[in-house]
Amino acid sequence: MVRREVSYWSPVHLQRALLALTVLGILGGLVIVYSASYPYALSEFGNPFAILIRQVAYTVLGLCFLLIALKIPLQPLQRFGWLLHLPVIFFLVATLVAGKKVGEAQRWLALGSFQFQPSEFAKVTLIVFIASLAAHWRNASTLKQKFGIWVAIFAFWLLTVALVLAQPHLSGGLLLAVIGLLVMFFARLPISLIVASLLFVVPMGYIGQKHFLHPYQQKRWQVGSWLTRSNDSSDPKAYQMRQALLGIQVGGWFGQGLNQSRQKHLFLPSAHNDFVFSVIGEEFGFAGSFIVIAFFAFLAYFGLCVATQAPNAFSSGLAGSVAFSIWMQAILHISVNANLLPPTGVPLPFASAGGSSLCATLLGMGLLLNVSATNIKRNEAKRRGGVNDALGDGRWRDRGTHLSSPRPRHRRQNFTA
């Protein structure tokens, strides 16, 4: 009798679920962008569809990124994927030198009429960078090689975080810092190495906060300061937070209905990007807000399931880190809108207006779907190899042909009376 492993989520089911969530996120995001942006677009551009049209164009571009990430072979990406992060480092440096400044932040790099935010793409390329080098670390044969690879991971990780913090972009820098640890964990590096990296990072972050954090950022992140300021109607800096909370409060259980938000009519600043969840809460109420939270929870869960089925550490690092980073970014955005954290400027994946965030999210989903497709192929190859396939059983450790070992035959003796 053959014993078979029982899995509630096969690789095929996981890929279908992730595809469905991706399509739902894209279509639902476009609806939310239009609903949250048309008052601002009408007053700013004279066309209520201006931001929606731009978001559709970014969606088409993001789908191209998704298809590229889906079709690229993982084996060469594992070997040379770390090179993809080097142009992003260059763009981050260029942003500090010649980037477009909006308010006190210099986060956008303009190339003619096209502008983008390199820090959004750094969230994906840093994952590929660390996962690729982590795979090289596991294959290294000497302690010297392992130490050199770890130094490279640590140095570029800190460099990326420092460049983003210098923009200044506090929430982006903190996200990249956590993403670095996530990739090390999901890429199956030893816990001792992760703890050592953390012990180096925490003191350096404490020492460097005076150089990277501006006075307004330090004041914003004082413990409990944003909670008391949101209740002070005389504080003009808390106006945005009060309007966001008012929108969520007015929404009630089932909301005011699609396009029925009042706060987005120029009462709530940045209603179509940084505070889009407040508009969701006002128009769809607690039920709609719960569905949004459940959407990202399911995305993270299915992504982690893909990571557990990944054939190697590189694929596991990609899948787990992409899924968890999207979920974490959504939770930060929702926490800011609910006044659980101070304003950080973190967009809501799929739903916030903005090309860089959407393209980076779809690029990450393409990598996640790529790992899921690889799991399907591996599962099919394993099934075929278990029967009569002499080329291998589909396992990632196979390096050549896999033939069954010879077994002695025991013939039964026939006796005649």
User: Cα–Cα distance between 72 and 373 in angstroms, integer?
Assistant: 11
pLDDT at residue 227, as a whole number:
55
User: Cα–Cα distance between 282 and 274 in angstroms, integer?
Assistant: 15
In this prediction the pTM is 0.85
Q: Which of 23, 22, 34 is nearest to 264 (CA)?
A: 34
Of 39-53, 75-89, 190-204, minimum mean pLDDT range: 190-204
pLDDT at residue 346, as a whole number:
86
Residue 4 has pLDDT above 50, yes or no: no
- Of 240-244, 327-331, 379-383, which one has max mean pLDDT? 327-331
pLDDT in tens, 130-183: 999 999 998 888 899 999 999 999 999 999 998 998 888 888 888 999 999 999
Planar angle of CA 64, 65, 70, nearest 5 degrees: 100
What type of residue sits at position 329?
Q
pLDDT in tens, 349-397: 999 998 899 999 999 999 999 999 999 988 888 777 754 433 333 334 4
Residue 277 CB burial class (10 angstroms; 0-12, 13-18, ≥19): buried
The number of C-alpha atoms within 13 Å of 207 and in the hemisphere containing its C-beta is 5
What type of residue sits at position 27?
L
For the chain, what is the mean pLDDT? 83
User: Cα–Cα distance between 76 and 84 in angstroms, integer?
Assistant: 12
Residue 53 has pLDDT above 70, yes or no: yes
pLDDT at residue 398, as a whole number:
42
pLDDT at residue 20, as a whole number:
96
Structure tokens at 409: 């035959």
Planar angle of CA 184, 106, 151, nearest 5 degrees: 25
pLDDT at residue 415, as a whole number:
43
Greater model confidence, 409 or 49:
49
pLDDT at residue 231, as a whole number:
57
Radius of gyration of the chain (CA): 25
